[in-house]
Amino acid sequence: MSAEQEAAQREAKAGTEARRRAAADKAGSDPGAHDKGGGPTAGRNLLFLREEELRLAQDLLFFGYRDFTAGADAILAELGMGRAHHRVLHFVGRRPGITVGDLLAILSITKQSLGRVLQPMIEEGYVVQIAGAADRRQRLLTLTERGRDLERRLFDRQRETVMAAYREAGPGAVEGFRRVMRGLMGPEARGLLRSIEDEPTIRERGR
Amino acid sequence: MSAEQEAAQREAKAGTEARRRAAADKAGSDPGAHDKGGGPTAGRNLLFLREEELRLAQDLLFFGYRDFTAGADAILAELGMGRAHHRVLHFVGRRPGITVGDLLAILSITKQSLGRVLQPMIEEGYVVQIAGAADRRQRLLTLTERGRDLERRLFDRQRETVMAAYREAGPGAVEGFRRVMRGLMGPEARGLLRSIEDEPTIRERGR
DNA sequence: TATTTGCGTCAATGATACTGACCCATCATG
DNA sequence: CATGATGGGTCAGTATCATTGACGCAAATA
């Protein structure tokens, strides 16, 4: 056995040991680890993010997000589209008349990347652009009937997934889910989300 | 104005109208929409997934997942790596000695895709492979000290994000978040997640 | 011995994203 | 009205992450 392989076996052993410790921690069999600091006890344990808790969050986000998008991805693939097309359908559907610039800001991609996705969608009749009335340089984006139909198909597919998850988890869990997801978002994304939810058009978001 | 543009303006108007309806729905100003079916009232409203609720879920997952990964992505980019490398570090770190086949099953990618990411990581000393003791065809994967260090850096960055979100949302919300995310996962992913959490090695997952 | 399994690798392809540069039409300002 | 700034489109080149299909090799197994 090479020296490298011997080292590797030591590595593997160390990893197994770490996992054993984490499992013990999860089982709550180590009261000494809690309540450090002496503040009010309630909530402390959950607020102190133990290693295994974050690892679980990572796993949940990875698998959960993937399966959330899987159904829509399958429909899109049949049409020769990808997730990027869905995002355009989603946000243009959510805010008809959105400008190209605002869509770019929401998606956080470059003009070029958007163009590669958007141009074919316009040519194939999913989206139309009309010049802005006030500012004729703008190209206001709106879904056509066809675009709305496709968006609806994708939406319905995802609805099944989310509905099942919500039903299984219960109403209280849904509120918690929303709070945590919002918390994961940075300030810019929160602002964008607020403007998507509240304002008549995204352009009024005070800039 | 062309006929196409006129049509587009009708589209835009229709979209605005739809948004107005959704907003009214969200405000709960339509009591007639609730309690359909006559069963027990509690929870019914939440179990019937209204349009706007799912749209919000879509937005939250899109922005939340993106910002969750953003910090780690930045570190990885400096090292010339991508998210795929992080996934390898994460799952190999979580299950030292995992086989290539099991890692493929978790990631749901092809051998080729994994190879393109894994081979450089082995050459650069982040991961080692050692032949299995029982089955010498297997290449058991383990992080090196260097790999563990990088994984730790990425982990710590994400911990800040998740810790802030958990703290902001509160302990109850965390439990709800977990339940919903687990609900989004399909049966295969749930099985994998269970085996990652519980079993000593993923190979014992009864196949 | 023959077959299957675990893994690595070849070639070709596609989707999504990037940077940097440049152009055009339009708006706003001096 | 000339000038500069803005909204948008486009070109060329590059990178990452993924795919399918085929083939090879070593080791396990029937």
Shortest distance, CA A2 to any CA of chain B (angstroms): 10
> Is the confidence at residue B177, as pLDDT, over 70?
yes
> Looking at the complex, does the CB of residue B43 fall below 8 Å from at least one CB of chain A?
yes
Among A197, A53, A175, residue whose Cα is nearest residue B169: A175
Going by the DSSP 8-state scheme, the letter that residue B9 receives in this structure is H
pLDDT at A197: 84
Cα Rg of chain B (Å, integer): 24
Q: How far is it, in rounded angstroms, from Cα B141 to Cα B130?
A: 7
Q: Which nucleotide is nearest to B119 (CA to C1')?
A: C8
Q: What's the pLDDT at B204?
A: 39
Nucleotides of C under 7 A from a protein CB: 5-12, 15-21, 25-28
Q: What is the predicted pLDDT for the residue at A40? A: 47
Confidence of residue B39 (pLDDT cuts 50, 70, 90): very low
Q: Give A76-95 as a 3 state SS string.
A: HHHCCCCHHHHHHHHHHHHC
Q: B residues 1-20 near A, CB within 8 Å? A: 4-5, 7-9, 11-12, 14-16, 18-19
- Could you give the percent of chain B with pLDDT greater than 70? 72
Predicted pLDDT of residue A198: 78
3-state secondary structure of A131: strand
**pLDDT tens-place string over residues B64-91:** 999 999 999 999 998 989 999 999 999 9
Residues of A whose CB is below 8 A from B47: 166-167, 171
**Residue A68: partners with Cβ closer than 8 Å, 6 or more residues away:** A158, A161, A162, B61, B184
The answer to whether A144 faces chain B, any CB pair under 8 Å, is: yes
pLDDT of residue A50: 80
Alpha helices by DSSP H, B79-205: 83-94, 100-107, 111-123, 145-169, 171-184, 187-198
B15/B198 Cα distance (integer angstroms) = 49
- Residue B51: band (very low, low, confident or very high) from pLDDT cuts 50, 70, 90: confident
Task: State how far Cα B37 lies from the chain centre.
Answer: 35
Answer whether A162 sits within 8 Å of B184, measured CB to CB.
yes
| pTM for this predicted structure | 0.81
Q: What pLDDT is recorded for position A206?
A: 35
pLDDT tens for the 207 residues of chain A, in order: 444 445 555 544 444 444 444 444 444 334 333 444 334 444 455 445 588 888 999 999 999 999 999 999 999 998 989 999 999 999 999 999 999 999 999 999 999 999 999 999 999 999 999 998 999 999 999 999 999 999 999 999 999 899 999 999 998 999 999 999 999 999 999 999 999 887 654 444 333
Q: Is B56 on the interface with A (CB under 8 A)?
A: yes
How many whole angstroms separate alpha carbon A196 and alpha carbon B40?
34
From chain B, pick out residues whose CB is under 8 angstroms from the CB of A185.
60, 63-64, 67
- Band of pLDDT at residue B8, cut at 50, 70 and 90: low
Q: Which of residues 20-39 of A touch B (CB under 8 A)?
A: none
Q: Answer whether A179 touches B (CB < 8 Å).
A: yes
Q: Is B194 at the interface with chain A, CB within 8 A?
A: no
Q: What is the mean pLDDT of residues B7-29?
A: 48
Q: Which residue is nearest to nucleotide D9 (CA to C1')?
A: A115
Question: What pLDDT shows up at residue A150?
Answer: 95
Using C1' positions and the CA of A81, the closest nucleotide is C15
Taking the CA of residue A98 and the C1' sugar atom of nucleotide C29, their distance in angstroms comes to 27
Distance CA B113 to C1' C19 in A: 26
Mean pLDDT over all residues of chain B? Answer: 80
What are the contacts of B107-111 at 24+ separation with CB within 8 A?
B108/A66, B109/B84
Cross-chain Cβ contact B197/A56 below 8 Å: yes
Q: Distance between CA B128 and CA B144 in Å, rounded?
A: 6
Which of B61, B62, B175 is closest, CB to CB, to A176? B175
Residue B31 has pLDDT above 70, yes or no: no
